[in-house]
Structure 1
Amino acid sequence: MKIAVAGGTGWIGRLVVDAVVAAGDTPVVLSRSTGVDLTTGAGLPEALHDVTAVIDVSNVVTLRKRRAIAFFHASTTNLLTAGERAGVVHHVALSIVGSDRVDLGYYLGKRRQEELVLSGKVPASVLRTTQFHEFAAQMLARGGPVVLVPRQLNQPIAAREVAEALVGLARRSTPTGLAPELAGPEMHTMPDLVRGLLRARGERRLVMPVRLPGPVGEAMAGGGLLPAEPGPRGKITFAEWLGGDARTPAPAAHGRDRNAGSHNTPGSDRP
């Protein structure tokens, strides 16, 4: 079957496209580079012809509430409207563990996306996942001798495992609604992850933990981004990722096509 990937030219999007191919299905990439603008809906009707399922990993790089909500409202509305008209039978959206509890501006945009998807006319599934192992690499990709890293507790997961989970959901005949939260196998602090990656690369840079002000910073440092209930867990530990996928550089958190997917980092790929 054909599975459309919104944001399929982005970092996580490319992994989802690979997972679609590995599953024996045909990917259809939805991004500006393929003639589709999610924020206006341009190109969507043609792109979704004969598509059975849509996986949305599109993203906007911002921490601002207004911009995040505007992007996710527009892109999700356009995807759902075009999907309904095209006969799409399953819409899968990638979201973030803790986005319903931490009031960061970007997360408020993800909440709006979830609301639209779960109340829409196209049968849907929403998968919340924790931070990716790759977020540590995104922190380093920003450059400079000092790396500012948010103080937060995480249970990170390999992006490759997230991509496979999204495709697995999309291939199901029965959507799940809000799926059980997907997290990694171990708990870490974000500064420790960044330091571990620096050691693995043989680099010397100062890691400076920064706590965001107010309730948002308190929630992130206190476990607000950890899974709230038991659920599926990834198998690849951060140490194992360092010995394998970490050799493939993650893109910088800025300057990407806003239709491109990333994830879990506020203002980058996902929290």
Structure 2
Amino acid sequence: MRIAVAGATGNIGSLTVAGLERAGHEVVRISRRDGVDLVTGEGLEEALTGVDAVVDAVSANPSDPAGAVALFGGMTSNLLAAEQRAGVRHHVLLSIVGIDRVEGNAHYAGKREQERLVAAGPVPWTIVPATQFHDFAGMVAGWAERDGVSTIAPLLVQPIAPQDVADVLAEVATGEPLGRHPHLAGPETQDLVDMARRTLQAQGRDVRLVPTWSGMFGPEMAGNALLPDEDARIAPTTFDEWLAKAV
């Protein structure tokens, strides 16, 4: 199959590209680095010529909900319109578990807009909502670190290995459209503060963590808000297994 991956240079996108190529598929990379701009639509027509399926693993970090809706909505609209013109038969969107339960988070607002457009759009689709990735805690701690101290929200999560997410996206892209895929999650529930502590320890970094609800992660994300449904598809890789290989 000829499959395009949007966000091909990102964390999940690059792993998805590699997995599809290992399986013998022809992969078209969609990224600015590859001369395709989802914001302007430049290069999309040429990139999608002859493409059977598209995986959308694009990520961005707008600071406000309105900006996120405009950015994600614009990129998704451009992509879907170009797919329709090219005769693409399957659009696969990587989304996030819990975005329908949390208001106020800019990134989640953008992802909700993506889901809305895909579900109402002209291209047969599958939406794959995944939990936070195993590397999420370390990234969050790094964003907030100042002078050896980092604030971090005490989120309850069921994290998943990036490779496991990419494997599922590649599998879904080569199959028939499913509509809403079951939630995708890792095998264990974790506390984000503890994950960050273990990540930093494994990296040999001395950072004092201060649990707090602030910034992009407010108390509306407490409790089970980010946990998967009971019928979730559980990926195999534990956080400890991932961490042992990641550092």
Question: Does the alignment reach a TM-score above 0.5?
Answer: yes
Q: Which amino acid aligns with 1:69?
A: V
More divergent stretch after superposition (141-150 vs 12-21): 141-150
- Deviation string 1:55-94 (CA, Å, 9 cap, x unpaired) is 0011211241011101111110111000011111100000
TM-score by length of 1: 0.86
From 153, 164, 171, the counterpart of 1:161: 164
SS for the counterpart of 1:243 is helix
Report the Cα distance in structure 2 between the residues aligned to 1:139 and 1:146, rounded to whole angstroms: 12
Greater relative CO, 1 or 2 (CA 8 Å, sep 6+): 1
Contact 1:151–1:220 at 8 Å: present in 2 too? no
Report the Cα distance in structure 2 between the residues aligned to 1:33 and 1:58, rounded to whole angstroms: 13
Runs of 4+ more than 3 Å apart: 140-144
Is 1:12–2:12 an aligned residue pair? yes
- Deviation string 1:132-168 (CA, Å, 9 cap, x unpaired) is 0011232344454112212211000001000010111
Contact 1:28–1:47 at 8 Å: present in 2 too? yes
Q: Which amino acid aligns with 1:186?
A: E
Is 1:106–2:133 an aligned residue pair? no
The aligned counterpart of 1:125 is: 126
The aligned counterpart of 1:225 is: 226
* Distance apart, 1:12 and its partner CA: 1.6
* Distance apart, 1:218 and its partner CA: 2.5
Paired residues for 1:29-68 under 5 Å: 29-68=29-68
Report the Cα distance in structure 1 between the residues aligned to 2:234 and 2:67, rounded to whole angstroms: 32
TM-score by length of 2: 0.94
Give the gaps of 5 or more residues in structure 1.
248-271
The aligned counterpart of 2:155 is: 152
RMSD, matched Cα: 1.6
SS for the counterpart of 1:27 is strand
Q: How many residues align?
A: 244
The aligned counterpart of 1:262 is: none
The aligned counterpart of 2:180 is: 178
* Distance apart, 1:202 and its partner CA: 2.5
Paired residues for 1:214-253 under 5 Å: 217-244=218-245, 246-247=246-247
Report the Cα distance in structure 2 between the residues aligned to 1:219 and 1:15, rounded to whole angstroms: 32
More divergent stretch after superposition (60-69 vs 184-193): 60-69
Q: Which amino acid aligns with 1:176?
A: L
More divergent stretch after superposition (92-101 vs 222-231): 222-231
Q: Which amino acid aligns with 1:203?
A: R
Contact 2:142–2:150 at 8 Å: present in 1 too? no
- Aligned sequence identity (%): 45
